[in-house]
């Protein structure tokens, strides 16, 4: 009897198994499925690197991550993409940048220092501007704005180690206004015509939070710092018409996508730019995700719009994410607000010069309270440690007044973040988006002129921030540095200056941690860790294919890695030409 029951049970199990297989074979298989295999698929799931043999995407979502054999069995009708040994990672997430301004900088004259541009001396700046103003883009910009505009000069990299002056720019034009925007975007230079049109004279007082640099007789020499420059630049940007604005959007998206960035930040959106982005979204112009952070001074226009949602959802790839506050300036431009003196003072500054605050403590506290009261995510430009002190105090006061537990308030740049400030950052649940790319572009300048040693070694202290358990992202601040993802990645891991010096070797991070600063930790900063930042079933299929595996090559060669393809929600939005 027992033997008969056993035989019957085996037969029943066999029948059920056959029916299960038959049902599985009859499941409809979507024709739009894509199966990737035969490469290093780094999931960025977990504290240590994890690899999958295959990934399947359908309808813009990841539906399978696992073994190749199971993928081929279960998704036999999927389109198959052989990675041929290449590497797949989650698409990169922009920790901080300025999306619209990146497009703008792509159109105006390129004045970046070598190797990114021609700006090695004042004369080369003048020559580049004179050449550009006769180009198609130059004529287009002059027609639209009535100004001759260049972007990206850097006094620290010029032969003269000083800013050009109005008299230098008069060699470009005496009839049209000329504006050169510093690479930091915290300073600029105008020619005599522009000074005249702007009403900047010997009798003009410095605006709050800004300076006019002057000649010995007190007249402006053309160099503008902080709000003195923004008073010119922001109204100028506001004159952009729809044709120019859409060209900026197109150029910027192409730049970001070609570098693997498929979620991008606009870190100080003006009302005019918000209008432009809203129209672009209505027209379906965006093919990557854009997150705006309007200046908190003018935030209500954005936070009351249909593009701000508490669930952090997008409308046609666009949303308002929170608000932006700015408390100081640029370290390489020597306008960041420090607690200790600059190593070498800028021209015209005597004594113990520490830069300056954009606003007083009372005003800063009101702005931070406004963000906490409305439960808006707040990102704040704080380069100098004095500005970070001001910010942390304001956060502590706001937390004591309002119940906003998951605020993800973020320090942007934090370049001179002190070791003793890090425990407070952790205690207040503040995130950090640091700027270690500075170690390559300005590391030597920080060491020789801005901070001196040993302070320069601690700039953007990524290792200590990670070890403290603080969420870290690494950024480019485009167009300060164009969104070159592998240069950002390389600098975060290696901290090598232009001259090959390792600036603060104890603050380097591992290649895997560096990858996380560009992916899952970026998603977490944006409240999007459930949908982006790693390769996991159910997440959006935002993918990047690299020619080499950054976890397997010499870390010093990370900057040589090429982006072969960027895939947004299953659709290729950039593919490197052969």
What tens-digit pLDDT sequence spans the chain (578 residues)?
Answer: 434 434 433 343 344 344 433 333 334 445 599 999 999 999 999 999 999 999 999 999 999 999 999 999 999 999 999 999 999 999 999 999 999 999 999 999 999 998 889 999 999 999 999 999 999 999 999 999 999 999 999 998 999 999 999 999 999 999 999 999 998 888 999 999 999 999 999 999 999 889 999 999 999 999 999 999 999 998 988 888 999 999 999 999 999 999 999 999 999 998 889 999 999 999 999 999 999 999 999 888 778 889 999 999 999 999 999 999 999 999 998 999 999 999 999 988 999 999 999 999 999 999 999 999 999 999 999 999 999 999 999 999 999 999 898 999 999 999 999 999 999 999 999 999 999 999 999 999 999 999 999 999 999 999 999 999 999 999 999 999 999 999 999 999 999 999 999 999 999 999 999 999 999 999 999 999 999 999 999 999 999 999 999 999 999 999 999 999 999 999 999 999 97
Give the model's pLDDT for residue 31: 58
CA distances 315 to 279, 306, 318, 510, 526, Å, are: 12, 8, 5, 36, 16
Q: What are phi and psi of 483, to 5 degrees?
A: -70, 65
Contacts (Cβ under 8 Å, ≥6 apart) of 37: 53, 54, 55, 68, 71, 72, 80, 81, 82, 83
Per-residue pLDDT, 574: 98
**pTM: predicted TM-score of the whole model, two decimal places:** 0.89
3-state SS, residue 65: strand
Residue 258: enclosing H or E segment and its boundaries?
Answer: helix 242-258
**pLDDT value at position 22?**
36
Distance from the Cα of residue 263 to its chain's centroid:
9
Task: State residue 27's pLDDT score.
Answer: 42
Classify 127 as helix, strand or coil.
Answer: helix
Q: What local confidence, expressed as pLDDT, does residue 38 receive?
A: 98
**Residue 366: helix, strand or coil by DSSP?**
helix
- Please list, in sequence order, all residues whose beta carbon lies within 8 angstroms of the beta carbon of residue 226, skipping any fewer than 6 positions away: 186, 187, 209, 210, 211, 329, 335, 358
Closest CA to 290 of 107, 485, 540, 526: 526
| Domains, in order of start, for the chain | 23-85+534-578 (2.30.40.10), 99-237 (3.10.310.70), 257-533 (3.20.20.140)
> Can you spell out the DSSP letters for 158-225?
STTSS---HHHHTTT-SSS-EEEEETTSSEEEE-HHHHHHHT--TTPPPPTTEEEEE-TTS-EEEEEE
Q: Which residues pair with 190 in a beta bridge?
A: 179
Contacts of residues 350-356 at CB distance under 8 Å and 24 or more positions apart, as own/partner, are 354/384, 354/386, 355/328, 355/329, 355/384, 355/386, 356/209, 356/211, 356/328, 356/329
Dmax over CA atoms of the chain, in Å, equals 114
pLDDT value for 18: 41
Nearest to 542 by CA among 533, 551, 550: 533
Q: ∠ CA 451-456-457 to the nearest 5 degrees?
A: 165
Asked if 242 contacts 278 with a C-beta cutoff of 8 angstroms, the reply is no
């Amino acid at each position: 009897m027992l033997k008969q029951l056993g035989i019957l049970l085996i037969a029943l199990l066999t029948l059920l198994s056959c029916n299960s297989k038959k049902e599985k074979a009859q499941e409809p298989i979507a024709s739009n499925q894509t199966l990737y295999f035969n490469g290093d698929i780094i999931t960025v799931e977990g504290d240590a690197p994890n690899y999958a043999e295959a990934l399947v995407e359908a309808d813009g979502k990841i539906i399978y991550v696992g073994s190749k054999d199971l993928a081929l069995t279960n998704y036999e009708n999927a389109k198959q993409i052989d990675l041929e040994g290449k590497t797949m990672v989650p698409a990169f997430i922009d920790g901080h940048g300025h999306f619209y301004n990146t497009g703008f900088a792509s159109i105006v004259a390129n004045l970046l220092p070598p190797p990114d541009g021609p700006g090695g001396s004042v004369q080369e700046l003048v020559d580049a501007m004179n050449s550009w103003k006769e180009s198609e883009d130059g004529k287009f910009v002059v027609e639209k704005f009535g100004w001759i505009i260049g972007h990206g000069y850097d006094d620290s990299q010029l032969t003269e180690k000083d800013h050009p002056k109005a008299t230098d720019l008069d060699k470009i034009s005496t009839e049209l206004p000329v504006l050169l925007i510093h690479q930091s975007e915290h300073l600029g230079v105008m020619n005599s015509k522009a000074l005249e049109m702007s009403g900047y004279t010997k009798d003009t007082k410095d605006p709050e939070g800004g300076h006019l640099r002057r000649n010995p007789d007190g007249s402006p020499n053309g160099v503008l710092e902080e709000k003195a420059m923004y008073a010119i630049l922001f109204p100028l940007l506001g004159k952009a018409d729809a044709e120019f604005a859409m060209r900026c959007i197109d150029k910027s998206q192409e730049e970001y996508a070609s570098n693997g960035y498929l979620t991008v930040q606009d870190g100080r959106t003006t009302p005019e730019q918000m209008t432009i982005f809203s129209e672009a979204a209505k027209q379906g112009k965006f093919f990557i995700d854009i997150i705006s952070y309007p200046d908190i001074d003018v935030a209500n226009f954005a936070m009351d719009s249909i593009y701000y949602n508490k669930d952090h959802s997008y409308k046609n790839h666009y949303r308002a994410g929170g608000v932006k506050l700015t408390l100081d300036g640029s370290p390489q431009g020597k306008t960041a607000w420090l607690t200790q003196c600059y190593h070498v003072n800028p021209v015209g500054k005597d004594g113990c010069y520490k830069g300056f605050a954009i606003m007083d403590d009372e005003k800063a506290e009101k702005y931070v309270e406004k963000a906490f009261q409305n439960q808006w995510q707040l990102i704040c430009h704080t380069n100098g440690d004095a500005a970070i002190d001001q910010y942390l105090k304001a956060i502590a006061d706001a937390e004591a007044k309002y119940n906003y537990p998951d605020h993800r308030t973020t320090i942007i740049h934090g370049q001179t973040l002190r070791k003793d400030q890090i425990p407070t950052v952790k205690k207040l649940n503040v995130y950090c988006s640091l700027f270690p790319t500075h170690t390559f572009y300005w590391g030597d300048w920080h060491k020789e002129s801005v901070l001196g040693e040993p302070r320069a070694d601690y700039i953007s202290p990524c290792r200590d921030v990670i070890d403290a358990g603080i969420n870290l992202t690494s950024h480019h601040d485009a167009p300060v540095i164009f969104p070159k993802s592998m240069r950002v990645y390389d600098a975060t891991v290696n901290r090598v200056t232009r001259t090959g010096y390792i600036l603060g070797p104890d603050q380097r991070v591992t290649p895997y941690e560096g990858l996380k600063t560009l992916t899952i930790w970026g998603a977490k900063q944006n409240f999007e860790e459930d949908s982006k930042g790693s390769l996991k079933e159910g997440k959006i299929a935002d993918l990047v294919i690299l020619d080499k595996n950054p976890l397997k090559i010499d870390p010093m060669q990370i900057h040589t890695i090429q982006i072969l393809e960027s895939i947004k929600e299953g659709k290729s939005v950039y593919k490197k030409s052969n």
